[in-house]
Structure 1
Amino acid sequence: MSLRRRALLGTFLGLGAAGVGASVLGAAPAQAVSRPLDAPTQRFAIGVREYAWSRGNRRLTTRIFYPATGTPGGNPVTNAPVANGVFPIVEFSHGLGGNPESYAPLVRPLAEAGFVVPAPVFPTTSTGTPGNIQDVYNGNQSMDVSEVITRTLALNTTAGDPLAGHLDTAVGVGVAGHSLGGMTTHGLLTAWPDERIAAAVPFACVDMGNPSNRVTANVLFVHGDQDPICQYSSARQAYAELPAPKAFLTHRGTGHDQYIWSGYNHTQTIATYLDWMRWSLYGDTAARDRLPADATSGTTTTTWESTLTPPPAGAVVSLRSRANNQYVCAENGGAGQLVANRASVGPWERFDLIDLGSGAVALRSHANNQYVCAENAGAQPLVANRASVGPWETFQRVNNADGSVSLRAQVNSRYVSAQGGGSQPLIANATSIGPAESFDLVTG
């Protein structure tokens, strides 16, 4: 990034309206795994404790928010008793000119949901400091976060500390941050890697470097596509460079931070963020399955990659369109789009119908052993081109009164349609069911 670009970031990178308001773990798992801890179902009250830590001569005052005893819904209570249980850690990094309290909409929900949240006050970029963004580009803030993670994990065995015995030190840790804090978060996956990280959510970040093979984390990007401060294209580049599992939640027509605060897609932001962490750190598969619905609104678009485990084989079926009585074909051995244009059944017209539970199904083509995908969240025709099943490859089976079935794509809640009476490729874009959205399932 050019010095001019950095200077522009130094001028604009901040909270906007929001401003008012020695490794302990080994390598983290790439995906959520089976674990003895169950994700909490209740909402917790929030406690907060402050720790006067440092890294060399860098003071790292850190406020740790945590699940506490008491009635949920109030403000954090200083030194409140810790709730019963063992909880994963998710560190949060504030933006330029901010502090942990100014980011309450992203910090408090984590603690309420059953996470311990260390939130450092960075020494040169917090409220009332000079705003030295070079501390992000030279790695100081990413290394500060690693120090805070180490110190927090050590509390689990610190005699007399109220958090002792309440910290999950086996699953890895989560990290998140917005703006300059999002860049700090991305730096922990790239130029200043911390292999303890199992989940990350950078909000409104820019690309901080090439991914490190030392880190294997589930990464969710959240960004407004009209962000004037942190370029959307840079975040998309950062996303493209990382391996799956990953996702990108785009708030269309949105700037730098509106989606964080109450109103404007705040609900989608928080629900997706929390369930990403619940899946990644608690192994909560129900939270994983909620992700597409969490992220859906009239002004959001989400890219998902490898967020579900490939299921086993199911019944062999062909789909015959009620619009023209022709079978759906995976054109060119699955390399082309799906079209209902074949009078007979061969390998290109056969699919494994895989039951994912609760009425959800996936289709795997016999032409190439790839899963049918609602390309670009249903905006483009269906193609059998995916090696694993995620929300784009998941469809809800609807049993119609006439004996036919319809398929509703999970990514956009639209029905698969044989457009033009079957003369055009199948696409998940219909809001209601008619002949073009109705198929006979022919087995065998």
Structure 2
Amino acid sequence: MTVPAPVVSVKPVVLPAPGRGDDLRVQVSAPVTGRDLPVVVLSHGYGGSLDSYAPLADHWAAHGFVVLRPTHLDSRTLALPADDPRTPLIWRTRIDDLTRVIDHLAGLEAAVPGLAGRVDHGRIAVAGHSWGAQSASMLLGARVLDADGAPGEDLTDPRVTAGILLAVPGRGGADLSPFAAENFAFMNPSFDRMTTPALVVAGDHDDSALSVRGPDWFTDAYRLSPEEKSLLTLFGAEHSLGGITAHEHTETTDESPERVALLQRLTLAYLRSALGPDDDAWRTAAAALAAEPRPLGRLESK
């Protein structure tokens, strides 16, 4: 593991977003040293903001990544009323937010003192947690099925070459709870065209009210997608996966600094190898987890 570098963060960097109703606000975090820095666009879960997921974003930035965190329209910081006309299509606007961030990478880079010229625009990953993971998955090739089961618009972004999907919702249809089926028509994904390499992370105690299936629902993105995927199952983890949404977050139901530390190490290793094919960090980290006498999780790949 490399020695962590000091990190500089700038927020909010405001991107014009005509037709969105609110301009897009982004936090940019990057190490103060290093060149040819790869990029991770990180999508928050329901209600989050550009400040969310500091335990991961700070760790990735300190170890050589530029981390871009947009605030989506569902953020509590925006407090959209339930009857806002944009609400039914926020799921789609979220995806536009992610592509907009990539479109404006040069401007985001220029907004951070000392960062210009140090970013590798050819190495980009997306990551997300919960609803953010579903948003990120669409850039990797996942599709939303319509009521007749036909795949919707292909929103794959060829600029994205890897993904990390944390607690990503699974199949729709009969696997949804009645409440989810009635209120969230977009929760009907197909993963069979999700060809971009990705790491899927699921907690084996993540029993969501959105599905009738139980924790294995969160493994669908791995099991139903083509190859070049890995699945990390975290033992005892619920939806916050030990507390990744924020430092000392009061909404964490399964607080575990050890589990968060494992996620920091493994996600960093995955990003390093996925965006740098000559880097063996992922193979080394996977072997170390397998050698643990009492591991906190299990890895499998295809």
The alignment's TM-score, normalised by the length of structure 1, stands at 0.51
**Superposition pairs for residues 162-177 of structure 1, below 5 Å?**
162-171=114-123, 173-177=124-128
Q: CA deviation at 1:131?
A: 8.0
2:52 corresponds, among 97, 102, 105, to 102
1:49 aligns with 2:1: no
| Partners of 1:178 and 1:202 within 8 A in 2 | yes
1:180 to 131, 151, 157: 131
1:64 and 2:47 are equivalent in the alignment:
no
CA offset at residue 159 of structure 1? 10
Q: Which residue of 2 aligns with 1:304?
A: 301
Residue in structure 2 matched with residue 252 of structure 1 by the alignment: 235
Residue 425 (structure 1) aligns with: none
Is 1:148 aligned to residue 101 of structure 2? Answer: yes
CA distance in structure 2 between the partners assigned to 1:253 and 1:160 by the alignment: 39
- Kept after mapping to 2: 8 A contact 1:93/1:120: yes
- Provide the C-alpha distance between the structure 2 equivalents of 1:84 and 1:210, rounded to a whole number of angstroms: 39
**C-alpha displacement of 1:280:** 0.8
What is the SS of the residue equivalent to 2:4?
A: coil
Paired residues for 1:96-135 under 5 Å: 96-130=46-80, 134-135=88-89
Aligned residues: 248
Q: Match for 2:30: what amino acid?
A: Y
Task: Find 1:239's aligned residue among 215, 222, 227.
Answer: 222
Query: Does the 8 Å CA contact 1:46/1:111 hold for their aligned counterparts?
Result: yes
Q: Deviations over 1:205-236 (max 9, x none)?
A: 113623475x6422001111221336533332
Shift of 1:303: 1.4
The alpha-carbon deviation at position 145 of structure 1 amounts to 0.4
Residues 97, 188 of structure 1: CA spacing in aligned structure 2 closer, same or farther, 3 A cutoff? same
**Amino acid of the structure 1 residue aligned with 2:233:** T
List alignment gaps of at least 5 residues for structure 1.
Answer: 1-39, 69-82, 306-444
CA-based RMSD: 2.7
Distance 1:241 1:218, change over 3 A: same
Amino acid at match of 1:217: T
The 1:177/1:131 distance shift into structure 2, 3 A limit, reads farther
2:207 partner letter: P
> Could you tell me whether the CA contact under 8 Å between 1:275 and 1:288 is conserved in 2?
yes
| Deviations 1:292-344, CA, capped at 9 Å, x for gaps | 14545534122112xxxxxxxxxxxxxxxxxxxxxxxxxxxxxxxxxxxxxxx
Equivalents in 2 of 1:94, 1:112: separation in Å? 20
CA distance in 2, matches of 1:96, 1:200: 19
What is the TM-score when the length of structure 2 is the normalising length? 0.73
Task: Report % sequence identity.
Answer: 26
Structure 2: which amino acid aligns with 1:163? L
Q: Which secondary structure state, in structure 2, belongs to the residue aligned with residue 206 of structure 1?
A: coil
Partner of residue 266, structure 1: 260
Q: Distance in 2 between matches of 1:46 and 1:258?
A: 24
Name the CA distance, whole Å, in 1 between partners of 2:135 and 2:49: 14
Q: How does 1:176-325 map to 2 (within 5 A)?
A: 176-189=127-140, 190-191=142-143, 192-207=155-170, 209-211=189-191, 216-229=195-208, 232-261=215-244, 263-293=257-287, 295-296=289-290, 297-305=294-302
Shift of 1:274: 0.4
Q: Aligned in 2, Cα 1:140/1:294: closer, same or farther, shift over 3 Å?
A: farther
Secondary structure of the residue aligned to 2:29 is strand
Distance in 2 (CA, whole Å) between partners of 1:66 and 1:187 is: 25
Partner of 2:27, secondary structure, is strand
Contact map agreement 1:91 1:119 (CA 8 A) in 2: yes
Assess, with a 3 A threshold, how the Cα gap between structure 1 residues 136 and 200 changes in structure 2: closer, same or farther.
farther
Structure 2 gaps, min length 5: 144-154, 171-187, 245-255
- Counterpart code for 2:115: L
1:188: Cα distance to partner?
1.9
Q: Max radius of gyration: which structure?
A: 1
Asked if structure 2 preserves the Cα contact closer than 8 Å seen for 1:178 and 1:205, the reply is: yes
Relative to 1, partners in 2 of residues 1:64 and 1:198: Cα closer, same or farther, differing over 3 Å?
A: same
Distance in structure 1 (CA, Å) of the matches to 2:226 and 2:286: 20
Distance (whole Å) between structure 2 residues aligned to residue 42 and residue 114 of structure 1: 10
The structure with the greater share of residues assigned to strand is 1
User: 1:91: how far off?
Assistant: 0.7
Instruction: Report Cα offsets for 1:12-31 as digits up to 9, x if no partner.
Output: xxxxxxxxxxxxxxxxxxxx
Q: What amino acid is aligned across from residue 198 of structure 1 in structure 2?
A: T
Kindly tell me: are residues 195 and 134 of structure 1, through their superposed partners in 2, closer, same or farther at Cα, counting changes over 3 Å? farther
Q: Which residue of 1 aligns with 2:251?
A: none
Change (3 A) 1:220 1:295: farther
State whether residues 202 and 219 of structure 2, in contact with CA within 8 Å, keep that contact through their aligned partners in structure 1: no
| 8 Å Cα contact 2:73/2:90 also seen in 1 | no
Helix, strand or coil for the counterpart of 2:60? Answer: helix
Partner amino acid for 1:301?
Answer: R
Q: Per-residue CA shift, 1:16-66, capped at 9, x if unaligned? A: xxxxxxxxxxxxxxxxxxxxxxxx934211101231113323221001001
